């Protein structure tokens, strides 16, 4: 859902689940179910997610995994227009209602051959306006008595996109290449470090986001509406990104707890630089309960083509127009003969140069200068030697740092999830 929007990932939750999962020695497979409700304040977006994950050991050297997810999305979303303060439903931005369902899933198999683990994956996702097919291959090579692992990954996604401002499907493709290192630093400490380079091309705009284009011209005949998203946004057709990620996990046996800290750096040629820090703790309480609080902070700079609105006029962009002294339209340069007549009588006419559109532009708040905070807690309860119940709550707060953009544009959300882990 973009760089800054949507429900954030929670790495510490994964640590808690590993602590609470039924022990693998008891069975050949595992299954997990999750229900999550992501609900933004102010009757904005609500995303209800049902997901199931399966793992089964087909052979001592072959493990198969699969996942299915169903998201139900509904609510109000900003279009990019500033909004009309005179409207009864004015929220500080123009918005539209939307409703959709997304079905997604993947199938993968990990094959062990000596010190190498090969994992191919096929993924698919579909909703009414978006279709995505993904292929990936990951090679994990163990060294140093499996205390060190080199990870190489390659992924290709082929997507088709349409929406409010783009009625027909357009293609978008992405490539991602990952190089990583997993390192055991001691009997209680584990480190992960990886670098990802990604390239995307094709239709990279959001088909539901537009920009307001407005400029005051003499008279009122050509006055544009200053609060609607008049034209669709236009993002570059390519993007190159670089992501660096590092995390450290450390076990504290004296208190039956474990800590995890992670840092993520993102840079792309759209001008976005992002830093994300997350810390968390997984605390065992007795033999059956694990409590895991977490905190996450994210900050990003704005894309170099982010705008609040485009200062131009859709009809006359990049040209000059003439009006008489009574503010009546006379003509456009190179189009209407009246403009040449006005040039011959400049004392009785006024001329306006209308700026051209920028090459790229977007008013999507997710591409603005912003920061977000996530904090919450999850609880895992071992209800049986082969089953654990997981519950969690997170609060997500996003704040814009550009004083031109209404604070109401940025979402805050409650995120609740429940689930069940089983072994068989």
What are the pLDDT digits (tens) for 235-267? Answer: 999 999 999 999 999 999 999 999 999 999 999
Q: Which two tokens stand for residue 83?
A: 């909004």
Count the Cβ atoms, other than its own, within 10 Å of residue 64: 16
Spatial contact of 136 and 172, defined as CB atoms under 8 Å apart: no
User: What would the pLDDT profile of 100-145 be if each residue is shown by its tens digit?
Assistant: 999 999 999 999 999 999 999 999 999 999 999 999 999 999 999 9
Indicate whether 23 pLDDT > 70: no
Indicate whether 44 pLDDT > 70: yes
3-class secondary structure per residue, 344-407: CCHHHEEEEECCCCCCCEECCHHHCCEEEEEEEEEEEEEEECCEEEEEEEEEEEEEECCCCCCH
Spatial contact of 196 and 242, defined as CB atoms under 8 Å apart: yes
- pLDDT interval class at 28 (50, 70, 90): confident
Position 176 scores a pLDDT of: 98
Position 84 scores a pLDDT of: 92
CA distance 384 to 423: 10
CA distance 338 to 324: 10
Length of the chain: 424
Let me know how many helices (H) and strands (E) the chain has, helices first: 2, 21
The whole-model pTM stands at 0.90
Q: Which residues of 397-420 are buried (b: 16+ CB within 10 A; e: fewer)?
A: ebebeeeebbebbbbebebebebe
CA distance 15 to 13: 5
CATH of domain 11-30+53-318+354-386+398-423: 2.40.160
Three-state secondary-structure class, residue 312: coil
Average pLDDT over residues 406-411: 94
Phi–psi pair at 71, nearest 5 degrees: -110, 135
Q: Where are the domains of the chain?
A: 11-30+53-318+354-386+398-423
Spatial contact of 332 and 316, defined as CB atoms under 8 Å apart: yes
Q: Which helix (H) or strand (E) holds 339?
A: helix 337-343
């Amino acid at each position: 859902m973009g760089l800054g929007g949507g429900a954030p990932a929670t790495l510490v939750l994964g640590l808690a689940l590993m602590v609470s999962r039924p022990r693998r020695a008891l069975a050949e497979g595992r299954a997990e179910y999750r229900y999550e409700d992501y609900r933004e304040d102010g009757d904005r977006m609500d995303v209800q997610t049902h997901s199931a994950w399966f793992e089964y050991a087909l052979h001592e050297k072959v493990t198969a995994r699969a996942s299915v997810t169903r998201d139900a999305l509904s609510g109000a979303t900003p279009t990019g227009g500033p909004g009309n303060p005179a409207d009864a439903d004015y929220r500080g931005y123009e918005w539209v209602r939307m409703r959709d369902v997304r079905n997604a899933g993947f199938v993968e198999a990990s094959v062990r051959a000596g010190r190498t683990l090969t994992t191919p994956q096929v993924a698919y996702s579909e909703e009414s306006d978006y279709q995505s097919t993904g292929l990936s291959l990951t090679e994990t090579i163990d060294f140093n008595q499996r205390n060190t692992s080199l990870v190489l990954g390659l992924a290709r996604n082929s997507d088709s996109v349409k929406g409010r401002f783009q009625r027909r499907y357009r293609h978008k493709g992405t490539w991602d290449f990952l190089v990583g290192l997993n390192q055991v630093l001691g009997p209680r400490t584990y480190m992960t470090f990886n670098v990802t380079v990604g390239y995307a091309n094709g239709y990279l705009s959001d088909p539901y986001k537009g920009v307001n284009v407005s400029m005051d011209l003499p008279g009122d005949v050509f006055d544009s509406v200053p609060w609607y998203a008049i034209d669709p946004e236009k993002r570059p057709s390519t993007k190159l990104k670089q992501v660096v990620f590092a995390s450290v996990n450390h076990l504290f046996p004296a208190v039956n707890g474990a800590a995890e800290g992670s840092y993520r750096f993102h840079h792309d040629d759209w001008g976005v630089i992002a830093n994300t820090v997350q810390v968390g703790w997984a605390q065992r309480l007795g033999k059956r309960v694990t409590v895991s609080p977490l905190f996450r902070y994210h900050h990003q700079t704005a894309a170099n083509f982010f705008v609040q609105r485009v200062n131009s006029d859709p009809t006359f962009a990049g040209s000059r127009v003439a009006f008489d002294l009574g503010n009546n339209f006379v003509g456009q340069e190179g189009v209407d003969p009246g403009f040449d007549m006005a040039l011959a009588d400049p004392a009785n006419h006024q001329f306006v140069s209308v700026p051209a559109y920028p090459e790229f532009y977007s008013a999507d708040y997710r591409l603005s200068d912003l920061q977000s905070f996530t904090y919450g807690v999850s609880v895992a309860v071992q209800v049986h030697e082969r089953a654990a119940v997981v519950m969690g709550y997170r609060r997500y707060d996003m704040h814009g740092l550009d004083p031109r953009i209404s604070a109401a544009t940025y979402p805050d959300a409650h995120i609740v999830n429940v689930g069940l882990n089983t072994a068989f």
